[in-house]
Amino acid sequence: MPASDSSRYPRFRRHRRSRMTTPYDRHLALWNLSADGAPIHTHSSDLLPVRHEGRPAMLKIAREAEEKRGGLLMNWWDGDGAARVYADDGEGALLLERACGPRSLVQMARNGQDEEATRVLCGAIARLHAPRPQPPPDGLAGLREWFADLPVYAASHGGVLRRCWEVAQELLDDPREVVPLHGDIHHENVLDAGPQRGWIAIDPKRVMGERGFDYANLFTDPDGETALAPGNFERRLAVVCEHARIERRRMLQWIVAFQGLSAAWFLSDAEQPDKEFAIIGKALNELDRV
């Protein structure tokens, strides 16, 4: 029907609108959910705050293959240190506990409580790394596989990325304290779930490797300005080494290796990894003095 004709038929327009669907409709019906807020769209997922059996929850529908695998660890953690999984369709849709507490690690880091935010993150990581009675799920990638992009960009760009890959190889050749890793822990992936539940993690990857890897992600977040503020790198390093009980040299190596990998990922997306290179420089300066 031409646009000029459809404007004369409001009943037709209403009928067309009523049949429009959203990414959430199937699971709203499947799990008997009601929408409880505005939808959220990220580069890899569609999310919707919902109510489930009278309690707040979050419907997450992953669009990317890698993101769909995050349910492996969320189910394995079973709500211990991470958001509870209320339902999982096995195809990338999860119904998760919704964190409704008032505190934000991003705001803490930006407003004079960076050390406290770092301590919270260290506690959250340690809780996820704690031993479990059941074996880890199948399908987790090893860190050597996870680092596949770094040697490619080390070869093409040389310089500091080559140094990062050299450091990474030393770590990957001699893994210690191997555990299932979150893989993307940072200030926006640990949320306040209130006084009873405390801080809970969301959005893991599917990685297995040395536990120091997870702590190395804390040094460029929540943004470059905060991460690179005078003294923040040194204070974060001290907090992490103390609370995670990781030897200082080893932690500096993981920072260099991980931030090199992160820089390679940014370059693959045609973005400039300025803050990653800045943190690598700080870590290398410290490492050369150890």
- The catalytic residues are 184
28, with CB counted inside 10 A (0-12, 13-18, 19+), is: middle
User: How many Cβ atoms from other residues are within 10 Å of residue 268's Cβ?
Assistant: 11
In eight-state DSSP terms, residue 213 is H
C-alpha span between 81 and 102 (Å, rounded): 18
Q: In sequence order, which ranges of the chain are alpha helices (DSSP H)?
A: 3-6, 10-18, 25-30, 65-68, 71-77, 105-110, 114-129, 143-146, 149-157, 159-173, 212-215, 224-227, 232-244, 248-268, 274-289
Q: Parallel, antiparallel, or unpaired: how do β-strands 207-210 and 141-142 relate?
A: parallel
Tokens read off for 153: 């960009």
Task: Give which of 105, 107, 132, 115 is closest to 199, Cα–Cα.
Answer: 105
CA atoms within 13 A on the CB side of 179: 19
**Residues 62, 41 contacting (CB under 8 angstroms):** no
Instruction: Mark residue 53 as left, alpha or beta (left: phi above 0; alpha: psi -120 to 50; beta: remaining).
Output: left
Contact 225, 216 (CB under 8 A): no
Q: How many CA atoms lie within 13 A of 253 on its CB side?
A: 19
Distance CA 224, CA 179 (A): 29
Whether 19 and 27 have beta carbons less than 8 Å apart is answered as: no
